[in-house]
Amino acid sequence: MARHRFAREALSEWMKVDGPDADIVISSRVRIARNIRHYPFPMLATNQHSREVMEKLLAVAKSGKLKEIGGFDTFVLSDLNELERRILVEKHLISPNLANESRNGALILGHNEAVSIMINEEDHLRIQCLYSGFQIREAWELASRIDDIFEAEVEYAFDEKRGYLTSCPTNVGTGIRASVMMHLPALVLTQQINRILSAITQVGLTVRGLYGEGSEALGNLFQISNQITLGQSENEILDNLYSVARQIIEHEKAARERLMAESRMQVEDRVRRSYGILANAAIMESKEAAQRLSDVRLGIDLGLIRNVRPQILNEMMVMTQPGYLQYLFDEKMSPDQRDIRRAELIRKQLGSKTEHGGV
């Protein structure tokens, strides 16, 4: 039996309901960075300073106002073992920095995992809200509401000219990072992706992989977010991201239609081969798993593969990660052992998500 709610299921509750444009936009996220006035930033804080910050912010979590939003669990990171911290990272609920390097780090986690509030990460407070599909404005509204609750209880580090002060200069100003995680296999297959991603960087946005800055875009998943936080209002940042993401959605839809019109048999062969390999392979390396799961998800969205839930991509992207694999099988594994277990898990999951074994 799992010790904690977050380890019991790979899919967070919020991911089980498809939001708008969920065939292309996997999730929408808003993250707000804040620091408490008169306390050094976490990288310079003493143990006493960081402990005081943690205690102040955890006290807010126990207040009635935050409870009005929903149920929350609180965790001190040092009380979690390495595997539990790794699962939180793999589910995008905390950052690797909080998991590995934080002093007096803590987490306030919503029961449905749509809200995760990190304490003593790169900044004293990072409020993250996640929604299924293309709901970036809804994510912002919730994050802003939570931000107001904390600001009513603690005094933020704020400058009249610069805005909210943060550890990293790229977050100064609004302190907001808004992003959408997009599945763009057709733009990759039609070789349009580089041109589109290049254009994105010209309008104040940046592109990252599945796990943020410095990570690879595995499984044709691209995280698109604002790069500018200073000199623009929150609404301007959100409007820019929304407009660009909407255009990318339309480009991906057009690319899918083109593939089906001009290369249907080739696409069908590709997705069925990937399904067959996933359903039968004895060894599966993580990069290949991501790519073939992407193919299967494309096949589902195009109606080429039936009786498989679309959430298979989201679910397997978590369950096949090293930490979650070791948790599921309750054993410490070498990379080679993980490849064997990963293949075993995918075979089992695909088998349990088909009717009569058919595609």
Domain assignment present for 359? no
Q: Please indicate, yes or no, whether residues 74 and 179 belong to a single structural domain of this protein.
A: yes
Domain assignment present for 250? yes
pLDDT digits (tens, 9 = 90+) for 154-180: 999 999 889 999 998 888 899 999 999
Phi, psi of 23 (to 5 degrees): -70, -15
Q: Please indicate, yes or no, whether residues 197 and 231 belong to a single structural domain of this protein.
A: yes
Q: Please indicate, yes or no, whether residues 135 and 106 belong to a single structural domain of this protein.
A: yes
Strand pairing of 205-208 and 106-110? unpaired
**Total number of domains constituting the chain:** 2
Sign of CA dihedral 268, 270, 271, 277: positive
| Angle in degrees, CA 117, 123, 124, rounded to 5 | 65
pLDDT digits (tens, 9 = 90+) for 206-225: 998 654 444 456 789 999 99
Q: Which residues are annotated as a binding site?
A: 27-31, 92, 126, 177-181, 208-213
CA pair distance 130, 282, nearest whole angstrom: 34
Q: Which of 255, 288, 309 is the last residue of a domain?
A: 255
CATH of the domain at 213: 3.30.590.10
Q: Please indicate, yes or no, whether residues 80 and 197 belong to a single structural domain of this protein.
A: yes
> Domain limits at 56?
5-255
Q: DSSP string of 50-76?
A: HHHHHHHHHHHHTSHHHHTT--EEEEE
Nearest Cα to Cα of residue 229 among 165, 141, 182:
165
CA pair distance 212, 222, nearest whole angstrom: 9
What pTM did the predictor assign?
Answer: 0.90
Q: Which of 221, 255, 289 is the last residue of a domain?
A: 255
- pLDDT tens for the chain, 359 residues long, are 356 878 877 778 777 777 999 999 999 999 999 999 999 999 999 999 999 999 999 999 887 788 889 899 999 999 999 999 999 999 989 999 999 877 899 999 999 999 999 999 999 999 999 999 999 999 999 999 999 999 999 999 999 889 999 998 888 899 999 999 999 999 999 999 999 988 998 888 999 865 444 445 678 999 999 987 778 899 999 999 999 999 999 999 999 999 999 999 999 999 999 999 999 999 999 999 999 999 999 999 999 998 888 888 788 888 899 999 998 899 999 999 999 999 999 999 887 444 333 44
| Angle in degrees, CA 16, 21, 25, rounded to 5 | 75
Q: Please indicate, yes or no, whether residues 170 and 219 belong to a single structural domain of this protein.
A: yes
Q: Which residues are annotated as a binding site for ATP?
A: 27-31, 92, 126, 177-181, 208-213
Q: How many CB atoms lie within 10 A of CB 332?
A: 8
Q: Please indicate, yes or no, whether residues 230 and 285 belong to a single structural domain of this protein.
A: no
